[in-house]
Structure 1
Amino acid sequence: MDRPLVEPDPDRHWHRTGAEHRRLIEATRPLSPLRTAVVHPCDTPSLAGALAAWREGVIEPLLVGPRARIEATAEALGEAIDGLTLVDTPHSHASAEQAVRLAAEGKAEALMKGALHTDELMSAAVARQAGLRTERWMSHVYALDVPSYPRPLMISDAALHITPDLATKADIIQNAIDLARAIGIERPRVAVLSAVETVRATLPSTIEAAALCKMAERGQIEGGVLDGPLAIDNAVSLTAAHQKGLGSPVAGQADILIAPDLEAANMIAKLLIHLAGAQAAGLVVGARVPIMLTSRADDVETRLASAALAQLLVRRQAAGGEG
């Protein structure tokens, strides 16, 4: 019998794009909506996403921005927002400050980015006087639904910390673990990435990876199982891991990828989005409330998934879970 032209790939697993994110949205059904300050929803993508999350019962939106612009956007969408709370502000900077104030006062349980720049919202959120900071560094987590990967895949930090040091990376990992546990991964497998899987004195990211794994062994990072350094191939491919003789519970089947720096994390995530058809939700974790960071290009399902992540995290914390 002739051999097939393409050998079966034990690492390949195909599911419909968005199936994992839809599972997250369905998991929110028993939960009460999350009071969410939607910051400056003055364009159709951001307002449509917030209203879709409201209709799905994921959030209870507080629309924070210029009243006339929000109402005009709703009219363009053919939507009625009469029954929603609208907090009038003069411009995007004031919208960010007011939304953060609502969260600090306990009037909002989460923030959702609208039609303003990420740095404008995050500058308001990280200000010391704002009241949202905790003992941990805030960090961004991409939650990717990759059609060829058999489980949700989280990548951090791709948005906030350019060159995080060891202590910051420990917080980045803990934040990602807490989020993974909130969506039902009880003991997340964390791959701390470098270019190689061996510790090398000439490659600082391998030394930091080894140190982070030892920190987890000593209880300084809790709730997950870490391995590193791992190259990207033997973090997500069992075949590659076996070829390298790696038999850890993380190698080849990571739930969380921790990149050496922002550039690497961002490149990995964007490649998966644009070349592998991944759907990407995003959340900033480590503040007193989660912050949903969305892009103008994000579709409604992506915005819904980001909202579902925030709702699952907050409700787990309220129920006494980690985080």
Structure 2
Amino acid sequence: MRLVNRTFDELQPGDTAELRRLITQDDLYGFASVSGNFNPMHLPNEDGDGDGHPDGIAPGMFVASLLSAVLGSRLPGPGTLYRRQGLEFHQHVREGDELITRVTVLSKAPNGEVTLATEIRRVADAALVLSGEAVVIAPTFKFDRDDIEVPGLIVQRHRHFDAFLETARPLPALVTAVVCPEEANSLDGALLAMKESIITPILVGHAAAIRAAAAALGADLTGIEIVEAATHAEAAALACALVHEGRAQAVMKGHLHTDDLLKPMVDRDKGLRIGRRFTHVFVMDVPGQPHPVMVTDAAINIAPDLATKVDICQNAIDLALSLGMEPKVGVLSAVETVNPAIQSSIDAALLSKMADRGQIRGGLVEGPLAMDNAVDLAAARSKGLKGGVAGQANILVVPGIDAGNMLAKQLAFISHAEGAGLVLGAKVPVILNSRSDSSMSRLASCAVAAIHHFHVLGATKA
């Protein structure tokens, strides 16, 4: 953005400047973080006055700060310093309001001070929300530059998961066999999802340990079915049995090893196989990204061959469609060209061609792609890559479990993403989180499972 000021000598009474600004949820969170003002009246989705409705009122001093944006950037512009500011607040501003901030020069003083009328109005109805007068020291040095760089700020908010929760809440509660919720964190996620009416849990495991975990949380298990199982293996087998009996619509991992959970599920007679390979998808909500990002497979298939990667792609596409996404599958390798010495690049090219021939259905598949040109449009264009996936991928198919695990954890611990984990290819969704995952991740996983289950159920009935 080019910044040009008006020096004291250039200013004349009647000179005016203005800026428009849409007030967003990120503005409210950002101001709370920077200022330390955590008044719930000013936070989205919080009820600060007890009337049962979220308030989302923009803090008065945040609204007033828009005046400094005009004074410091437009009129008088760079070099301006405040002396004093009078403020009168007329109406509240809420997230979603668009405001127009205007300053007008009233007078100049010999000591370099300039007095300006200041006002902020709501664009929709021209209502005056703030008025006052500012006295500033105007610049005497001419400033005209377009190379001022200000780092962007990313609010660590998980808006995509919020949207999943909003979609899942009206659905029937998904009856879920929770296997070995014998530790506070794993039990808390299930109870939180129950509180949100997303699942109805059946707790399968050592009953005394489950009740001890509930006691540690201060949670009441009254009315929740507990199925006794002496061992982890027995609990996992009982969960499969509950599915076959029609009593459970999903399975959720508690505090046990993934191998112990999945072993009875792959049993040919009593397991949950339906034909495709079991594959795992992380649905990642990465702050600042315009869409969720799926990483697959990062938890089950160690070194998948081409046939397994076909199922990995198809399962992820099916999940993306159920979540309302337009599936764009980037098959990752170290390079974006086929190299006979790099097997993942060969597999990626074959998967892309198989999608062209209808062997993978429902989404766009492109590869090989390196990570940068899979998710960054500028990087893709710099390599001359075109099409509907390069630079826009929302499903990332990794070469193997090493790459997938590292990518998912980098997104979580460096980019502050939350991840929902789901196993696909079974008779029912299998909610699979790490034992160290937060309750929010477990809640989001339940929401994703519920949305997927009822989408598939609806498609089957249709």
Q: Pick the TM interval, shorter chain.
A: over 0.9
Give yes or no for the alignment of 1:113 onto 2:256: no
Give yes or no for the alignment of 1:280 onto 2:419: yes
Letter in 2 for 1:287: A
Deviation of the 1:111 alpha carbon: 0.5
Give yes or no for the alignment of 1:171 onto 2:299: no
Tell me what 2:433 maps to.
Answer: 294
Matches within 5 A, 1:194-233: 194-233=333-372
Q: 1:125 aligns with which of 261, 265, 268?
A: 265
CA–CA distance in structure 2, aligned partners of residues 316 and 148 of structure 1:
27
Tell me what 1:41 maps to.
Answer: 181
Matches within 5 A, 1:90-169: 90-169=230-309
CA–CA distance in structure 1, aligned partners of residues 236 and 306 of structure 2:
30
Give yes or no for the alignment of 1:268 onto 2:411: no
Deviation of the 1:131 alpha carbon: 3.0
Identity within the alignment, %: 48
Tell me what 1:2 maps to.
Answer: 145
Deviation of the 1:129 alpha carbon: 2.5
8 Å CA contact 2:174, 2:250 repeated in 1: yes
Higher RCO (Cα < 8 Å, 6 or more apart): 1
CA–CA distance in structure 2, aligned partners of residues 78 and 174 of structure 1:
42
8 Å CA contact 2:256, 2:435 repeated in 1: no
8 Å CA contact 2:264, 2:271 repeated in 1: no
Tell me what 2:202 maps to.
Answer: 62
Tell me what 1:31 maps to.
Answer: 171
Deviation of the 1:212 alpha carbon: 0.6
Letter in 2 for 1:2: R
Secondary structure in 1 matching 2:459:
coil
Q: 2:321 aligns with which of 160, 168, 181?
A: 181
8 Å CA contact 1:13, 1:150 repeated in 2: no
Secondary structure in 2 matching 1:179:
helix
Deviation of the 1:88 alpha carbon: 1.0
Number of residue pairs aligned between Structure 1 and Structure 2: 318
8 Å CA contact 1:52, 1:304 repeated in 2: yes
Question: Aligned pair in 2 of structure 1 residues 238, 321: CA closer, same or farther (>3 Å)?
Answer: farther
8 Å CA contact 1:13, 1:149 repeated in 2: no
Letter in 2 for 1:233: D
Deviation of the 1:283 alpha carbon: 0.5
CA–CA distance in structure 2, aligned partners of residues 285 and 40 of structure 1:
20
CA–CA distance in structure 2, aligned partners of residues 89 and 124 of structure 1:
14
Give yes or no for the alignment of 1:253 onto 2:396: no
8 Å CA contact 1:13, 1:147 repeated in 2: no
Superposed CA offset, 1:85-123 (max 9, x none) = 111111222111111211233211101111111111011
Deviation of the 1:262 alpha carbon: 1.0
Secondary structure in 2 matching 1:303:
helix
CA–CA distance in structure 2, aligned partners of residues 156 and 5 of structure 1:
40
8 Å CA contact 2:204, 2:227 repeated in 1: yes
Aligned CA-pair RMSD? 1.7
Deviation of the 1:130 alpha carbon: 2.3
Q: Which moved more, 1:96-105 or 1:269-278?
A: 96-105
Secondary structure in 2 matching 1:128:
coil
CA–CA distance in structure 1, aligned partners of residues 147 and 437 of structure 2:
39
Tell me what 1:305 maps to.
Answer: 444
Secondary structure in 2 matching 1:130:
coil
CA–CA distance in structure 1, aligned partners of residues 450 and 181 of structure 2:
19
Superposed CA offset, 1:246-272 (max 9, x none) = 121101111100011111111111111
Q: 2:374 aligns with which of 217, 235, 238?
A: 235
CA–CA distance in structure 2, aligned partners of residues 80 and 7 of structure 1:
50
Question: Aligned pair in 2 of structure 1 residues 35, 265: CA closer, same or farther (>3 Å)?
Answer: same
Secondary structure in 2 matching 1:154:
strand
TM-score norm. by structure 1 comes to 0.94
CA–CA distance in structure 1, aligned partners of residues 345 and 213 of structure 2:
49
Deviation of the 1:6 alpha carbon: 4.0
Q: Which runs of 5+ in 1 are unaligned?
A: none
TM-score norm. by structure 2 comes to 0.67
Letter in 1 for 2:236: A
CA–CA distance in structure 2, aligned partners of residues 321 and 209 of structure 1:
31
Higher strand share: 2
Superposed CA offset, 1:15-71 (max 9, x none) = 543221111011112210101000011110011111000010110100101111112
8 Å CA contact 1:14, 1:149 repeated in 2: no
Superposed CA offset, 1:119-171 (max 9, x none) = 11011212222230011001000110111321100000001111111111000
Secondary structure in 2 matching 1:96:
helix
Tell me what 2:226 maps to.
Answer: 86
CA–CA distance in structure 1, aligned partners of residues 324 and 457 of structure 2:
15
Tell me what 2:108 maps to.
Answer: none
CA–CA distance in structure 1, aligned partners of residues 146 and 184 of structure 2:
53
CA–CA distance in structure 2, aligned partners of residues 223 and 127 of structure 1:
29
CA–CA distance in structure 1, aligned partners of residues 308 and 231 of structure 2:
33
Deviation of the 1:207 alpha carbon: 1.3
Letter in 2 for 1:225: L
Letter in 2 for 1:49: G
